[in-house]
Amino acid sequence: MEKHVGITISSSDPQSFQHNVFLRYLCLLGKKLRLIVYVFSVQSIQHHTVVGYTYSQKENNWVKSTFPTPDFIFDRCFTHSMKKKEAQQRFITELCNIKPVLILNRSVCSKWHMYQLLNKYKCFQPYLPETKHVENIPMILDWLEQHDHAFMKPHMGSHGKQTIAITKRDEEVYDVQCRDEDNRAASHTFHTNASLCEWLTPWIGNEKYIIQPFLSLKDAQNRAYDIRALVQKNKNGKWDVTGITVRRGYTGSITSNLHGGAASIAPMPFLQSLYSKKEAQHLLKQIHQLALAIPKPLERHFGHQIEFGIDTGLDKNGNLWLLEVNSKPGRNAFKAFPLIYNHAMGNPVRYIRYLVESQLGG
């Protein structure tokens, strides 16, 4: 009997996923692997059935249908609201009360709680930048008194949006670079503590932020970069590093997210432009080992996971820093590398096929 795989998405409006290549790929590959894959929003659950969409190669379009409740759920709901996230989880819990469902890739925690969790493990502590939760605006000034620079990002942020980099250039002189909620870059200079605080207050508003050192993660041309490692469970049920790529921003940018205009490049040639070949090989091996070490402790804490995007950076002294762990990683950073891209796209359903075979004893 064919198993049903439901992919949860944030909206049931077909326009929201009409051109989503990843979801389409999963539906088509699922069919080849004898899986019925469909997408649905958690609000579409109707007792023992789910109203959702699957992609039809024949019609070259998304087709709406009523499906049995899924045997597996691959959670791809995106929301920056903790309330919405909790509501989604309640819907999924209700679904699990109808029939046994294996939830894959439940949403994990905020950036602040992720830091607190990883910091409990001694093996990760050397890679974690000092991180604090921003309790109030005066705390930011206290931080700048001690560090002269700061990088701030929302607890629930993504794609580099609403980030702030502050450099204290002189007594009460601050250079600020930021990205707004639409990812537009801007820069400001403030000449008093009061003017900086006056600007920060409405920007932060009710949003929860973390604050870290503004690490110098730039190449020789002053372009910000980070290194994304995609770790996934493969068709044999094992955690593996699917691929590693460098995301490099434009000159003067404070972030290196693709949504903010960054480019994706191969890691070895890039690292060799900054370090010797031997050093570059060692650093790449270190990144690989760190990325592979992270999933298992997180899975013990959050339940069944199948993929993570691990973002790291190297400062000017060659120190490796763990910047972020993303439980719902994109694939676009690997588009330039077709073999890696193919694995990155299909591994979720290949792993589910492995689980089905394991259940069937085959």
Into how many domains does the chain fold?
3
pTM of the model: 0.91
* From 67-71, 105-109, 333-337, the region with the lowest mean pLDDT: 105-109
Q: What percent of the chain shows pLDDT beyond 90?
A: 65
Any domain includes 244: yes
The reply to whether 201 falls in a domain is yes
Q: What per-residue confidence (pLDDT) applies to 265?
A: 92
Instruction: Read off the CATH number of the domain in which 278 is found.
Output: 3.30.470.20
> Does any domain span residue 359?
no
Residue 65 dihedral angles phi and psi, to the nearest 5°: -160, 170
Average the pLDDT over each of 53-57, 247-251, 314-318, 322-326 and give the range with the smallest value: 247-251
- Burial bucket for residue 88 (CB in 10 Å: 0-12, 13-18, 19+): buried
The Cα 269–Cα 288 span in angstroms is 16
User: CA-to-CA distance for 135 and 192, rounded, in angstroms?
Assistant: 21
Residues 49, 146, single domain; the answer is no
Query: Would the CA dihedral through 186, 198, 139, 144 be positive or negative?
Result: positive
From 192, 212, 232, give the residue that closes a domain. 212
Same domain, yes or no: 69 and 202:
no
In a domain, 78, yes or no: yes
Q: Kindly report the number of other CB atoms within 10 A of residue 215's CB atom.
A: 19
Which string of DSSP letters, residue by residue, matches 117-166? HHTTSTTTGGGPPP-EE---HHHHHHHHHHHSEEEEEETT--TTTT-EEE
Q: The domain spanning residue 22 has which CATH number?
A: 3.40.50.20
Can you say whether residue 357 is alpha, beta or left, with left for phi > 0 and alpha for psi between -120 and 50 degrees?
Answer: alpha
Give a yes or no: residue 360 inside a domain: no
Is residue 99 one of the residues assigned to a domain? yes
Based on the fold, state whether residues 258 and 124 are members of the same structural domain. Answer: yes
Q: How far apart are CA 352 and CA 41, in angstroms?
A: 20
The whole-number pLDDT of residue 201 equals 94
pLDDT for 133-192, tens place per residue?
Answer: 999 999 999 999 999 999 999 998 777 788 999 999 988 899 999 988 888 889 999 999
Residues 59 and 115 placed together within one structural domain of the fold: no
Are 117 and 157 in a shared domain? no
Last residue of a domain, one of 40, 73, 107: 107
d(CA 9, CA 77): 4
Q: Are residues 159 and 99 in the same domain?
A: no
Choose the final residue of a domain: 155, 186, 212.
212
Query: pLDDT digit string (tens) for 20-43?
Result: 899 999 999 999 999 999 999 877
Compute the distance between CA of residue 148 and CA of residue 142 in angstroms, rounded to an integer: 10
pLDDT of residue 254: 62
What is the mean pLDDT of the segment spanning 277-295? 97
Residue 361 lies in a domain: no
- The answer to whether residues 124 and 248 belong to one domain is yes
pLDDT of 67 over the 90 cut: yes
Asked if residue 228 belongs to a domain, the reply is yes
Give percent above pLDDT 70 in the chain. Answer: 94
Same domain, 284 and 314: yes
Q: Are residues 27 and 45 in the same domain?
A: yes
Tens of pLDDT, residue by residue over 81-131, are 666 666 677 777 777 777 788 989 887 888 999 999 999 999 999 999 999
Assigned token pair, 70: 């899924």
Nearest to 353 by CA among 30, 101, 69: 30
Q: Is residue 291 located within the same domain as residue 306?
A: yes
Task: Assess whether 242 and 316 both reside in one domain.
Answer: yes
CA–CA distance, 42 with 208 (Å, rounded to integer): 26
pLDDT of residue 259: 58
Q: Residue 13: give the domain boundaries.
A: 3-107
Q: How confident is the model at residue 236 (pLDDT cuts 50, 70, 90)?
A: very high
In a shared domain, residues 172 and 314: no
